[in-house]
Structure 1
Amino acid sequence: MNIVRKFSQAATAGEHSGGWKLWKKLSFFVAIPGVGLCMLNAWLGHVKEHENHERPEFIPYEHLRIRNKRFPWGDGQKSLFHNPHVNALPDGYEETEHH
């Protein structure tokens, strides 16, 4: 019983007892600001990419918009993640571009 008591005491006392403080400080002063900087970088990249974004001209290539079966939702022409500004239907874009 004496050996078990020494091992359980060693896990909570001694030179390794302050490890949680180090990880707490690393989390607050390194990890959280690092995640914040990564989010800022991603958002600034997104804004920069889309500030001068123009929609490509619609060219009715038949092989790009083949519909063998209708989609089971909506009117059957739009994909599940359809964006009317970017994704063209077989007969062209749904909305005109506004600037």
Structure 2
Amino acid sequence: MAAFGRISQALLRSSLTQTRRQLSAAAGHTEQAAKTWKVLTFVVALPGVAVCMLNMYLKEQQHSHEQPEFVPYTHLRIRSKRFPWGDGTKTLFHNPHVNALPDGYEEH
């Protein structure tokens, strides 16, 4: 029985030593992974965001800011009941320049 106790103690010590080695190796890997992601953030992600912002700005400069022509289609702007806010004809996020009412755009 004593021999079984010594063998189990030896196996436990070797198992703990091996686990410590694996954890220390993983810690080194984690540091390297953090450095890699930091470099990728500054070299890939931030310039990518800057290029997307530049693209959006240039597209907005070419965009026409004129009011679209009103076409009174029967299937659009159907109001079966009034909205519970305001005068009841405008949507919650109504933009008078872009969003038409059922009878046309608002006059300024």
TM-score (norm 2): 0.69
2:76 paired with 1:64: yes
2:21 paired with 1:6: yes
Pair 11,89 (structure 1): closer, same or farther in 2 beyond 3 Å: same
2: CA distance, partners of 1:61 / 1:8: 68
Write out per-residue CA displacement over residues 64-89 of structure 1, whole angstroms, 9 at most, x where no aligned residue. 33321001111100012211011111
Note if contact 1:60-1:90 (Cα within 8 Å) is conserved in structure 2.
Answer: yes
Q: Which structure has the bigger radius of gyration?
A: 2
For structure 1, list consecutive stretches of 5 or more residues without a partner in the other structure.
none
2: CA distance, partners of 1:60 / 1:77: 16
Q: What residue number does 1:94 align with?
A: 106
Pair 61,27 (structure 1): closer, same or farther in 2 beyond 3 Å: closer
2: CA distance, partners of 1:22 / 1:93: 54
What is the 5 A alignment of 1:1-99?
1-13=16-28, 16=29, 17-49=31-63, 52-96=64-108
Note if contact 1:85-1:95 (Cα within 8 Å) is conserved in structure 2.
Answer: no
Where is the helix percentage greater, Structure 1 or Structure 2?
A: 2
Write out per-residue CA displacement over residues 40-62 of structure 1, whole angstroms, 9 at most, x where no aligned residue. 2122212312xx34323334444
Identity %: 61
Name the SS for the 2:66 alignment partner: coil
Pair 87,9 (structure 1): closer, same or farther in 2 beyond 3 Å: same
For structure 2, list consecutive stretches of 5 or more residues without a partner in the other structure.
1-15
Pair 59,4 (structure 1): closer, same or farther in 2 beyond 3 Å: closer
Pair 56,35 (structure 1): closer, same or farther in 2 beyond 3 Å: closer
